[in-house]
């Protein structure tokens, strides 16, 4: 199986503090891969480095070519799309306008209308709310909009930073179901960073545990779900 994204010995520092230490992982094409771990483990930093938002050391390869010399914009144009934890929507613009902005990077391909129909089919709530300002949406609707906007860019690799954060269980299920469905029906490759270990591992083909900036364990989603250490750390005591 070919890796769409290869990370080797990745290190990221904030000033003198190294937040990510020599992390190596693969995101296989057509797979859902998750990184779980406690708050402050370096999960967001890892995604930011892959996206080119933070300088890093080590090797990053995407579609079998080095990533390091590509700008953030070039990475997006190549199908690498990040949905950040803060969702970063334009609050004073409508739902429809936020979605159109997502297609900006691929507008030259003229796929915008078809993509929009896809997003509305996947998230009917967004179509109902299309004329509303993004700032007036609920947390769950905002997450759907952030995901929808990312899909408008026709990603090859969709990276999601804590998509379940702060959402009600029912909404989390909808978001995770949408991710599973995109992977199944469109073969979309997903790289998911989550504190909700149970949901993420159930969804993922492969998982990595990140603690204090280092990968401490990896395996299939099923293996990690069954692992006593993972259970003790992340799955006992009502993290479900």
Q: Please tell me the predicted confidence (pLDDT) of residue 1.
A: 64
Could you report the per-residue pLDDT of 142-152, keeping only the tens digit for each? 999 999 999 98
CB 51 within 8 A of CB 81: no
How big is the chain, counted in residues? Answer: 240
Helix (H) or strand (E) holding 51: helix 43-51
Residue 236 has pLDDT above 70, yes or no: no
Least confident of 102-116, 163-177, 185-199: 102-116
Which of residues 109 and 202 earns the better pLDDT score?
202
Type and span of the H or E element at 223: helix 221-226
- pLDDT (average), residues 199-203: 94
| pLDDT, mean of residues 73-85 | 89
From the list 8, 25, 24, 30, the residue with the least C-alpha distance to 190 is 30
pLDDT in tens, 42-78: 999 999 999 999 999 999 999 999 998 899 989 988 9
pLDDT reading at 118 higher than 80: yes
Q: Which residues contact 240 (CB under 8 A, 6 or more apart)?
A: 198
In the predicted structure, residue 22 carries a pLDDT above the cut 90: yes
* Domain annotation for the chain: domains and CATH numbers: 1-79+157-240 (3.40.50.300), 89-154 (no CATH)
Digit-coded pLDDT (tens) for 24-51 = 999 999 999 999 998 888 999 999 999 9
Q: Are strands 189-194 and 80-83 parallel, antiparallel or unpaired?
A: unpaired
Calculate the average pLDDT of the chain.
89
Evaluate if pTM is beyond 0.75: yes
Tell me: pLDDT of 173 over 80: yes
Q: What is the CA radius of gyration of the chain?
A: 17
Q: What is the pLDDT of residue 159?
A: 96
Q: Is 142 helix (H, G, I), strand (E, B) or coil?
A: helix
**How far apart, in whole angstroms, are the C-alpha atoms of residue 87 and residue 156?**
19
Tell me, what's the pLDDT at 221?
A: 94
Q: Is the pLDDT of residue 240 over 50?
A: no
């Amino acid at each position: 199986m070919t890796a769409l994204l290869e990370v080797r010995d990745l290190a990221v520092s904030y000033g003198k503090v190294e937040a990510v230490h020599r992390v190596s992982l693969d995101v296989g094409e057509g797979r859902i891969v998750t990184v779980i771990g406690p708050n402050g483990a370096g999960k967001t930093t890892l995604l930011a480095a892959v996206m080119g938002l933070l300088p890093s050391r080590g090797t990053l390869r995407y579609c079998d070519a080095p990533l390091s010399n590509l700008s953030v914009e070039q990475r997006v144009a190549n199908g690498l799309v990040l949905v950040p934890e803060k969702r970063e929507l334009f609050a004073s613009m409508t739902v429809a306008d936020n979605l159109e902005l997502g297609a900006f990077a691929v507008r030259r391909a003229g796929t915008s209308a078809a993509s929009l129909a896809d997003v509305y089919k996947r998230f009917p709530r967004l179509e109902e709310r299309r004329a509303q300002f993004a700032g007036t949406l609920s947390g769950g609707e905002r997450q759907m909009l952030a995901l929808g906007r990312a899909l408008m860019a026709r990603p090859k690799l969709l990276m999601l930073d804590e998509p379940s954060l702060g959402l009600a269980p029912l909404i989390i299920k909808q978001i995770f179901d949408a991710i599973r469905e995109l992977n199944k029906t469109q073969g979309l490759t997903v790289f998911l960073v989550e504190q909700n270990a149970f949901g993420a591992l159930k969804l993922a083909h492969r998982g990595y545990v990140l603690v204090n900036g280092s990968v401490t364990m990896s395996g299939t989603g099923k293996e990690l779900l069954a692992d006593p250490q993972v259970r003790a750390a992340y799955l006992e005591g009502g993290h479900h």
